[in-house]
Amino acid sequence: MIIVLRPDATKKQIDHLIEKVKKLGLKPMVSRGVERTIIGVIGEEDVLRVQPLEAFPGVEKVMPILKPYKLVSREFKPENSIVDVEGVKIGGKKIAIMAGPCSVESLEMLMDVGKKVKKSGANILRGGAFKPRSSPYSFQGLGEEGLKFLKDVKKETGMKIVTEVMDTRDVWMVEKYADILQVGARNMQNFNLLKEVGLSKKPVLLKRGMSATIKEFLMSAEYILAAGNFNCILCERGIRTFEDATRFTLDLNAIPLIKQLSHLPVIVDPSHGTGKWDLVSPMAKAAIAAGADGLMIEVHTNPEEAYSDGEQSLVPYRFDVMMKELKAVAKAVGREI
């Protein structure tokens, strides 16, 4: 249930209400907006049948939520959430650009790609040090050494770092190096991992599972918020359909739809969403036009030799061309790159 307070509700009235909710054994999650305060109530709401909260001073309305998610919902927070990654804001007018190789392979390559994508306008460096691979014989990532390389490139370029954490046991370590913790598509419903990153102070980038509905996607984000971490960014990265001409089917519907349902920022990964480098730029443009708050793009200096996902990686020159073209699209929809 969601309690909407009157714009003129006093602090005393709000505190009194919060106390009452707690006393009833429910968990109040408070969202203080510019206009008004909203309280999301979590727990067995049946007790409120005997104790209607509408009667409390300062309460404007009490809305039962039929949707299974609360904290991520627009009802809970009508205004867009902006996730601040050490000054880089995701969810505002400016579109966030995350770019870099699929896997961290070496410091030299990462530094080279990092400097080039930064020059083209990317502000967040991506690169996996822990890789979820379909085969146990494929390259699994450099682990902590890869995380150190990411930090080195951050030091040199000033870019923020987004990198995947696959295991609850590694969250403490990845947190030391990353500015954004990425939860990959294959782990979207790893509920223990969601709870663990939900306890982190670092923002989380949650990628949509390849077979997850939008409702399931939002329920997974709910785990992160319910654990206390409201700095959550959602990433559409393609879903499995009958179509096998592309690696996945990038679900552009998800962007405006999630924006209706949730206040969280939504970014798009057209690299995994298409699996083909020459489809990345057109789909990136489409994503911005559809309202995405950011993009995640795989870039490699030598895709032929990439340890993973070379076929969907842009060379830095093509990334640069795409960035220039994206500026015009962003401007057309009232955004900025």
Interface positions with ligand PEP (CB under 6 A):
102, 128, 132, 164, 184-186, 207, 237, 269, 272
- Closest distance of CB 205 from Mn ion, Å: 14
| Residue from 17, 95, 102, 292 binding Mn ion (CB under 5 A) | 102
From the list Mn ion, ligand PEP, none, partner contacted by residue 207 (C-beta under 5 to 8 A by kind): ligand PEP
From the list ligand PEP, Mn ion, none, partner contacted by residue 125 (C-beta under 5 to 8 A by kind): none
Measure Cα distances from 141 to 106, 144, 222 in Å.
10, 9, 29
Cβ proximity to ligand PEP, 58 vs 184, nearer residue: 184
From CA 306, how far away is CA 139, in angstroms rounded?
11
Structure tokens at 164: 């995947």
Chain residue whose CB lies nearest ligand PEP? 184
From CA 261, how far away is CA 66, in angstroms rounded?
12
Cβ proximity to ligand PEP, 91 vs 100, nearer residue: 100
> Which phi and psi angles does 195 have, rounded to 5°?
-65, -40
| CB 273 within 8 Å of CB 248 | yes
In the three-class reduction of DSSP (H, G, I as helix; E, B as strand; rest coil), residue 13 is classed as helix
From CA 54, how far away is CA 41, in angstroms rounded?
14
| Residue from 164, 196, 236, 309 binding Mn ion (CB under 5 A) | 309
From the list Mn ion, ligand PEP, none, partner contacted by residue 184 (C-beta under 5 to 8 A by kind): ligand PEP
| Closest by CA position to 254, among listed 209, 224, 296, 223 | 209
Q: At what angle do helices 214-226 and 191-198 cross, to 10 degrees?
A: 40
Under DSSP, the state recorded for 158 is -
Cβ proximity to Mn ion, 196 vs 309, nearer residue: 309
- Closest distance of CB 21 from Mn ion, Å: 44
- Closest distance of CB 254 from Mn ion, Å: 19
From the list ligand PEP, Mn ion, none, partner contacted by residue 185 (C-beta under 5 to 8 A by kind): ligand PEP
Question: Residue count at the site for Mn ion (CB under 5 A)?
Answer: 2
Cβ proximity to ligand PEP, 185 vs 322, nearer residue: 185
Residues that bind Mn ion (CB under 5 A): 102, 309
